[in-house]
Structure 1
Amino acid sequence: MGDSNQAEHEQISTSLEVEQLDVNLFRSKSLWLPVRARGVFGGQVISQALVSATNCVNPAFGLHSLHCYFLLSASPSTPIIYHVDRVRQGRSYATLAVKAVQSGHTVFVLMCSFQKPEPWQPFHQWPMPSVPPPEDCELEETRFIKLIASPATTPTIKEYYQDALAERTRSPIAIKRANKHDSATDGTVAYMYWMQTRDSPKYEAPFQKCILSYISDLNFISSASKIMGLKRFGKGPNTVSMTSTLDHTIYFYSDDFDCGDWLLHVIVSPRTGSGRGVVHGRMYTRDGTLVAVTSQEGVVRANIRGPSAPKLDAKL
């Protein structure tokens, strides 16, 4: 497990756990509200919905893709109910839909597809970028400690990093930057992070995919604002006023990976505009196997006011 932080932290199994209420009905047991977030962490909602769906599918079928939309911010104070709909069961593929409801409102919807594996088919993959191994990269907690200690850090920013440090220490996921950013000759910028679950056993493939779905939402849409050069702190048009996930997609191409070992998430953002941004990602094992392809669109707003809406004529 390398040099993961050994302080008290939540177990990933606790974060993903759901209670089965009926054949196709499940309820969250814990919900996490990140620091300064508008609602429950999206990766947790995705993964809990997937755990619910996986409990409703023939185990001969393995998850190969998911597509989901975040409709409303979920509160951490009220359990989320997951309704699973077994849409279609075929010979090679099965499709399920999950609707997440909180206080009578649908906050999230998920479509996921399961396949009987066909390992005899030919394959190809993009190679993993050349990055330092996780053992040579520093934990996010270490980086936050350095920023807090820096005399250049203002009191307001120091308070943010102190909250971020406490949150990272409690997290079931360890994160290391594999690089600050990587710019290709064509101007493409990529952010890359090593991630792993802390102190977790080697779970079976179905649960590993649920864990990867949780991990995939960390530092994802925020990469779009970083690539645009928007700053987290301060005022003016070069600062971020809001980021929030709209939709999320994952395609799985392996059943042989362990989130308890380091996974590399390579993130690029091909386009931003109109208050939105899209990011694409590739998740590799440390030996270079591409196990999942990710994509997400989200609200990415700079601190810029748009034109005022015209007043409506009272006679209309």
Structure 2
Amino acid sequence: MPKSIFPSVISFSNQQQPEKIDPTSEEDFGVQIARAVDVQELDTNLYMSKELWLPIGARGAFGGQIVAQALHAAFNTVGKTFFCHSLHSYFILPGDVSVPVLYEVTPLRDGRSFATRFVRAKQRGKAIFVLSCSFTKEYTDPSIDHQSIMPKVPAPDSLPSYTDIVRQQLENNNLSAKYRDYLQKRLEEESPIDYREVDPEDIHDENDAWFTTGQKGDRRARWCLTRGKLGDDPRLHALIIAYLSDSGFIMTAALAGGAKRRGVGMMASLDHSIFFHKPARADEWLLYDMQSPRSGDGRGMAFGRIYTKDGMLAVTTVQEGLIRLTKAEQDRVRQEREEKSKL
């Protein structure tokens, strides 16, 4: 039975019909992820999304895709010698996958070494997302140079893929019909990104600054790369790293706060920042090291570091997100706190 890369993708260049593709090789996944972050030029400084993806159970379009498309629009307005070194963004409204997103780019400054852009993403006349980003040219003069040390973790080839984990979960005969259906849909939703989760107990490093809470579970790590090969354009690799940097990021804060995965009723990104230190390839293994210093008041924060396999720190990320517990989980937390207060 044919499978689509993104079953919930809407292709606006194809009369708003979901695009069904049966990949015959890993290369097709590379084509699909490149298309997922692509935008179409409509006018000067005005671009439109070509595709939008609605993840299973999500309220709106995948946030990482919106970030990547907005950055792509901004990239199109600066010279080829400029590369993004930082971006800061806010999610205002959920993206509706039934209509395209319009990206309005406002050039704020064009200097010899730096350029600054502001991007407003709109649907039906309302802003759903805003992004400010700064670009710079390659710096070749002598400079100070240091970085954090990549933690020691198991190699990606020794870890099960997300698909392997879901298949193993489906072998459990005690699953509810609703959860089994959810897992089956996740299994059918083939992702162009291969994620390999690292057991927190297997994360070992010398970066003591990460461990600021003392809470068990406040640290996560995963290996990731595109399932298909990409070209050599460093901008495309930056876009896809921006795309994958949003996936599961805020869950780090939810788990650090003691929430169970099934106890989270709603979770959404509120803002997202990325610092690109060095160009890196998204079609080669990257280690995403994540830690949460704080959660509370219905929100959580996470910090991330993305390393190349040889240990170079390529990207740093920061995100705050909305975390709403289910009624049952709220009751459990309330009871737990009441029992502690009696001690």
TM-score band w.r.t. shorter chain? 0.7 to 0.9
Please tell me whether the aligned partners of residues 27 and 228 of structure 2 are also in contact (alpha carbons under 8 angstroms): no
Matched, 1:197 2:226: yes
**Which range is displaced more, 111-120 or 75-84?**
111-120
Q: Secondary structure at the match of 2:118?
A: strand
Counterparts of 2:27 and 2:81 in 1: how far apart (Å)?
Answer: 38
Deviations 1:265-307 (A, max 9, x none): 011010001000000000001111100000000101223579x
Matched, 1:77 2:98: yes
Counterparts of 1:158 and 1:254 in 2: how far apart (Å)?
Answer: 42
Matched, 1:292 2:321: no
| One-letter amino acid matched to 1:41 | F
Please tell me whether the aligned partners of residues 26 and 229 of structure 2 are also in contact (alpha carbons under 8 angstroms): no
What are the equivalent positions in structure 2 for 1:147-296 lying under 5 Å apart? 147-167=169-189, 169=190, 171-180=191-200, 182=203, 187=214, 189-233=218-262, 239-255=263-279, 257-296=280-319
| One-letter amino acid matched to 1:37 | A
Q: CA RMSD in A?
A: 2.0
Cα displacement (A) at 1:8: 7.4
Q: Which residue is equivalent to 2:35?
A: 14
Counterparts of 1:94 and 1:78 in 2: how far apart (Å)?
Answer: 31
Q: Secondary structure at the match of 1:57?
A: coil
Deviations 1:106-157 (A, max 9, x none): 0000000001222431211111100011111110000000001122433222
Q: Secondary structure at the match of 1:125?
A: coil
Higher relative helix content: 2
Q: Which residue is equivalent to 1:90?
A: 111
What is the aligned counterpart of 2:147 among 125, 145, 162? Answer: 125
Deviations 1:137-194 (A, max 9, x none): 1100000000011224332221221122122x2x211111122455969725311011
User: Please, what TM-score do these two structures have when normalized by structure 1?
Assistant: 0.88
Please tell me whether the aligned partners of residues 202 and 260 of structure 1 are also in contact (alpha carbons under 8 angstroms): no
Cα displacement (A) at 1:221: 0.7
Deviations 1:210-229 (A, max 9, x none): 11100101110112112222
Q: Which residue is equivalent to 2:156?
A: 134
Matched, 1:66 2:87: yes
**Which range is displaced more, 281-290 or 114-123?**
114-123
Q: Which residue is equivalent to 1:47?
A: 68
Identity in percent:
38
Please tell me whether the aligned partners of residues 174 and 195 of structure 1 are also in contact (alpha carbons under 8 angstroms): yes
Counterparts of 1:153 and 1:218 in 2: how far apart (Å)?
Answer: 25
Please tell me whether the aligned partners of residues 274 and 315 of structure 2 are also in contact (alpha carbons under 8 angstroms): yes
Please tell me whether the aligned partners of residues 269 and 279 of structure 1 are also in contact (alpha carbons under 8 angstroms): yes
What are the equivalent positions in structure 2 for 1:25-44 lying under 5 Å apart? 25-44=46-65
- Count residues with an aligned counterpart: 294
Structure 2: 5+ residue runs without aligned partners? 1-24, 205-210, 332-343
Structure 1: 5+ residue runs without aligned partners? 234-238, 307-316
Matched, 1:57 2:86: no
Counterparts of 2:184 and 2:27 in 1: how far apart (Å)?
Answer: 15
Q: Secondary structure at the match of 1:224?
A: helix
Counterparts of 2:200 and 2:135 in 1: how far apart (Å)?
Answer: 36
Please tell me whether the aligned partners of residues 213 and 293 of structure 2 are also in contact (alpha carbons under 8 angstroms): no
Cα displacement (A) at 1:58: 1.5
Alpha carbons of structure 1 residues 47 and 7: separation in structure 2 relative to 1, 3 Å = closer
Cα displacement (A) at 1:7: 11
| One-letter amino acid matched to 1:61 | F
Q: Secondary structure at the match of 1:145?
A: helix
Q: Secondary structure at the match of 1:11?
A: helix
